[in-house]
């Protein structure tokens, strides 16, 4: 499966991180209702992310051969966002998520 992660300001706002273009490595883990993302991010990208940390969304695009792309939208809400400069690790905890297939979603409108 191919997966791309985006960190964005609001839903239609600017993209801070695009793992497919920026080469940012990441891991994510579901913990109950919350999802914890660990990203390796250079310090120069972090200042703007932290400035808008109360308005962030994280998106995962999951592609499997022969299947439509699955989009998962994570809303950070009050989830903590921290940065450890020594390890260059950004941690984002998202409080809720919505999963959908964009092709199927638009067909229902």
Its pTM stands at: 0.87
Average pLDDT score over residue span 83-103:
92
pLDDT category, 37, cuts 50, 70, 90? very high
Domain count, the chain: 1
Alpha helices in the chain (DSSP H): 19-22, 43-51, 102-108
- What pLDDT, on the 0 to 100 scale, is given for residue 50? 92
pLDDT category, 5, cuts 50, 70, 90? very high
**Chain centroid to CA 82: how far?**
14
pLDDT over 50 (residue 109): no
CA distance 9 to 56: 5
| Domain region containing 21 | 2-108
**Chain centroid to CA 73: how far?**
8
């Amino acid at each position: 499966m191919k997966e791309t992660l985006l960190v964005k300001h609001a839903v239609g706002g600017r993209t801070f991180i695009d793992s497919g273009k920026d080469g940012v490595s990441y891991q994510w883990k579901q913990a109950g209702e919350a999802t914890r993302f660990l990203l390796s991010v250079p310090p120069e990208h972090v200042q703007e992310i932290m400035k808008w940390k109360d308005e962030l969304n994280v998106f995962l695009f999951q592609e499997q051969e022969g299947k439509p792309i699955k989009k998962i939208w994570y809303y950070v809400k009050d989830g903590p966002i921290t940065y450890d400069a020594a390890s260059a690790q950004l941690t984002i905890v998202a409080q809720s998520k919505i999963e959908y297939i964009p092709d199927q979603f638009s067909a229902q409108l």
